[in-house]
Amino acid sequence: MNDEPIIQLIDVHKTFGTQHVLKGINLSIYQGKTTVIVGESGQGKSSVIKHILGLVRPDSGKVMVYGKDINRISKKELKEIRTNFGVLFQNAALFDSMTVYENVALPLRERTKKKDEEISVIVNEKLKMMDLEGSNDKYPAQLSGGMRKRVGLARALVLNPKIVFFDEPTTGLDVAKSNDMYRVFFRTQSALGYTAVIVSHDVPKIFKLADYVTLMYQGVLQESLAPEDFQTSENPVIRDFVEKTMGRIYDSEKVEG
């Protein structure tokens, strides 16, 4: 982790009503790497992503993206920073009155001056990448959960963003569909080379994707570790989580000296 982080959260606190959700979050995200935030439901994992996206303002602390505190910059600058982002929301957040094609084409239509023919080529290419050929004219309500997520990902990737956020990408999907989603992730990340931030509780499968894993526990993020180090960490909070979700991990070095 010698490079400068492209995203940094410094001592971020947030209270919703009477609930102190984030209690001093510190996190660094590095270029080209995949950082996974794990933790039990309701711990505030998605809130961390919403702070980075600028959708929620912290009560105190800093959210630095490309060296700028996104809560102290103008709307115009925030919009510019967001041009680097692609987001796959938990429920995909597709526009329900638009077809699959229109959903994926929207960022191209609104953010670029490309002609309809060019847009059509890009959209169809992205839909093919997601194994969604032939679904162009369907509406989100006509799609399965897995397909909706893949359309959401196609829309998130259509402008080739530098950083992609995944909020619970496999929640609500069966094992086969989750594996499909992971395959699509691998394929798109190796093709487009984006930095990924994933919020998930799909442990241990999600570790296969991760360069760094960090645990959200009672409003605080524990240290970022490589997946192997995470699984054998001595940190009692991490060890508890690993044992609860994966069972006791056998570490030959520790057990047999």
> Number of helices (H) and strands (E), helices first, in the chain?
9, 10
Q: How many CB atoms lie within 10 A of CB 205?
A: 13
What is the rounded CA–CA span in Å between residue 177 and residue 198? 17
What is the rounded CA–CA span in Å between residue 21 and residue 56? 12
What is the rounded CA–CA span in Å between residue 221 and residue 214? 7
CB nearer to another protein: give 65 or 225.
65
CB nearer to another protein: give 155 or 241.
155
Q: Which of 19, 60, 83, 142 binds another protein (CB under 8 A)?
A: 83
Q: Which of 96, 117, 234, 256 binds another protein (CB under 8 A)?
A: 96
Residues 104-123 touching another protein, rule: CB under 8 A, are: 106-107, 110-111
What is the rounded CA–CA span in Å between residue 167 and residue 183? 17
Does 95 contact another protein by CB under 8 A? yes
Does 85 contact another protein by CB under 8 A? yes
Interface region with another protein, contact rule CB under 8 A, candidates 21-29, 49-57, 115-123, 243-251: 49-57
Task: Let me know: does 56 contact 9? Beta carbons within 8 Å.
Answer: no
Strands of the sheet containing 7-16, edge to edge, are 19-29, 7-16, 60-65, 68-69
Does 91 contact another protein by CB under 8 A? yes
Does 16 contact another protein by CB under 8 A? no
What is the rounded CA–CA span in Å between residue 94 and residue 100? 8
Q: Which of 37, 65, 94, 225 binds another protein (CB under 8 A)?
A: 94
CB nearer to another protein: give 54 or 227.
54
**CA 242 to chain CA centroid, nearest Å:** 21
Using CB under 8 A, list all residues that contact another protein.
50, 53-55, 79-80, 82-83, 85, 87, 89-91, 93-96, 106-107, 110-111, 155, 159
